[in-house]
Amino acid sequence: MTSTAAARTKIRKSEVTHYKMYIDGKFVGAKGGKTFDVFDPSTEGVIATCPAAGAEDVDRAVKAANRAFYGGWRSVTGQERGRILFRLAERIRARRSELAELETVNSGKPIVESEYDMDDAATCYEYYGGLATKINGEVLPVPADAVAFTMREPVGVAGQIIPWNYPLVMAAWKIAPALAAGCTMVIKPAEQTPLTLLKLAEDFEAVGLPPGVVNVVTGDGPVAGGAIVKHLQVRKIAFTGSSAVGKIIMREAADQLKRVSFELGGKSPNIFFSDADFENAVDGALFGTFINQGEVCSAGSRVLVQRDIYKKFVDAAAAKAKTIRLGPGLDRETKMGPLVSEEQRDRVAGYLKVGRGEAKVAAGGGTPKRFDKGWYIEPTIFYDVDNSAKIAQEEIFGPVMSVIPFKDEADAIRIANATPYGLAAAVWTRDIFRAFRVVKALEAGIVWVNHMQPTFVEAPWGGYKASGFGRELGHWGVEEYLETKQVFINLDEKPIGWY
């Protein structure tokens, strides 16, 4: 895919930046010298190359992380780790426009969204900078002739594999809690979007991170990601991505009984009762599905609408969807950019074809004709969708909404819970009794009322059912990187006297 797409576009060699990965405090190439191309989704042109790490490069990175862990990082105080995290946040804030621009050029997303992403990434480092000094055990109420307590200790080297939809934010969600816990790590960004993390790595030494504490390895999923998962010195894997890869990782990790935590996306219901504020509801449906081109794990792509407002709702949502401005992400007027890759554009286009056979089209439904370059997909609304349809059950990860009518509260809850996933859900109503009843009945790790998508570093993020396990963010996020040691101290000096 990379070589043909590169050949299609006439990008001068000089415009392509050659990045290195960051291992043991140094920027290095892959041992075998292999690289892969990185694209601008709005031009389809190659903008950079990155090292394609093989197993030997991953081994070098993991060994560096292991040396750093046992060589001193374990005993660096929470205060000092916290200060490093604060400095990382400062660097992101100082480089906000540079990093946001690069994120947009590399991922396709609107610049305004990238700027918010940089703020979110910085806030995440700040939150865990504060938390680094608040990780402690508990004293346990054992009998008077003993003392018992718990100690919290870092699990060791963490392997972290992240996706391309929120590149620097996903890196922050992984790196920040692991550093707060006292772990060292090898993180692999997605092969589509490795650039902003490599840019941030330029500051790792200056903020006080010793060599080997955070290693950034770039490369292909099965090769570089697979090598991280299989490495004997990696104690824990944190993964965000597809369910298919989550299953592979879980099988591979099983051999070593390696700890895993997963965020595997979803097919989240966004439920609209007829008493909801109508204008807000329509906006909320569009925002919930189309933000970040719909490339969002918690996308509210199953829109459930009560029958008495159903027709009016579909018409209003379709009319608004048709006004969403598509274009290159760097244009500040752009509300939706191209999808991240040719592969993702084709995958979503495949679902549009399936959807046209399964339901009716209210808006979009194809690729826009007015761009001669760029992996664009029209914001699409399917309606009269049956909940058993593929477009109602499978994660599409693009700007595609499936609208499903429902009769009453029981019907809405039944449909909402009827997928294998359980990441997020939202309910829109002005009836507080109903809101709470529905909140309690939904099987989802995140439930919003009268909004969809707001995400705060203080609050836990993760899913029920096939959406994964473990939680990121908040104090839950740091738990994933900690072991609990139970300590018992005998205060009774007389012999045990059993034998």
44 lies in the binding site for ligand NAI (CB under 6 A): no
Site stretch for ligand NAI (CB under 6 A), options 10-18, 96-104, 244-252, 469-477: 244-252
- Out of 241, 329, 374, 470, the only residue in the binding site for ligand NAI (CB under 6 A) is 241
CA distance 293 to 285: 14
Neighbours of 137 (CB within 10 A): 15
265 lies in the binding site for ligand NAI (CB under 6 A): yes
**Is 263 noted as a catalytic residue in this protein?**
yes
213 lies in the binding site for ligand NAI (CB under 6 A): no
395 lies in the binding site for ligand NAI (CB under 6 A): yes
191 lies in the binding site for ligand NAI (CB under 6 A): yes
Nearest distance from C-beta of residue 187 to ligand NAI, angstroms? 10
Going residue by residue from 373 to 392, which x/- string records binding to ligand NAI, judged by CB under 6 A? --------------------
Query: Which is it for strands 424-428 and 446-449: parallel, antiparallel or unpaired?
Result: parallel
Nearest distance from C-beta of residue 245 to ligand NAI, angstroms? 4
Going residue by residue from 325 to 364, which x/- string records binding to ligand NAI, judged by CB under 6 A? ----------------------x-----------------
Read off the tokens for 67: 């040396």
| Catalytic residue (one of 103, 126, 263, 378) | 263
Q: Hey, which residues between 151 and 170 contact ligand NAI (CB under 6 A)?
A: 161-163, 165
Nearest to 294 by CA among 320, 272, 332, 268: 268
Phi, psi for residue 254 in degrees, rounded to 5: -60, -35
Strands annotated E in 298-454? 302-306, 360-363, 380-383, 400-406, 421-422, 424-428, 446-449
Phi, psi for residue 269 in degrees, rounded to 5: -80, 140
- Out of 108, 177, 225, 477, the only residue in the binding site for ligand NAI (CB under 6 A) is 225
The 10 Å CB-count burial string (b at 16+, else e) for 373-399 is ebbbbbbbbbbebebebebbbbbbbbb
Site stretch for ligand NAI (CB under 6 A), options 234-242, 311-319, 323-331, 436-444: 234-242
Nearest to 160 by CA among 132, 181, 133: 181
CA distance 100 to 116: 8
Would you call 371 exposed, middle or buried from its count of C-beta atoms within 10 A (0-12, 13-18, 19+)? Answer: middle
Q: First and final CA of the chain: distance in angstroms?
A: 72
Question: Which is closer to ligand NAI, CB of 409 or CB of 480?
Answer: 480
Question: Which is closer to ligand NAI, CB of 54 or CB of 221?
Answer: 221
| Catalytic residue (one of 103, 297, 395, 472) | 297
**Is 297 noted as a catalytic residue in this protein?**
yes
177 lies in the binding site for ligand NAI (CB under 6 A): no
Q: Hey, which residues between 99 and 138 contact ligand NAI (CB under 6 A)?
A: none
Q: Hey, which residues between 282 and 321 contact ligand NAI (CB under 6 A)?
A: 297
CA distance 169 to 164: 10
Question: Which is closer to ligand NAI, CB of 17 or CB of 242?
Answer: 242
Question: Which is closer to ligand NAI, CB of 306 or CB of 341?
Answer: 341
Kindly list the distances between the CA atom of residue 269 and the CA atoms of 197, 243, 252, in Å, as whole numbers in the listed order.
32, 18, 32
Neighbours of 65 (CB within 10 A): 30
222 lies in the binding site for ligand NAI (CB under 6 A): yes
Q: Which residues form the interface with ligand NAI (CB under 6 A)?
A: 161-163, 165, 188, 190-191, 221-222, 225-226, 229, 240-242, 245, 248-249, 263-265, 297, 347, 395, 397
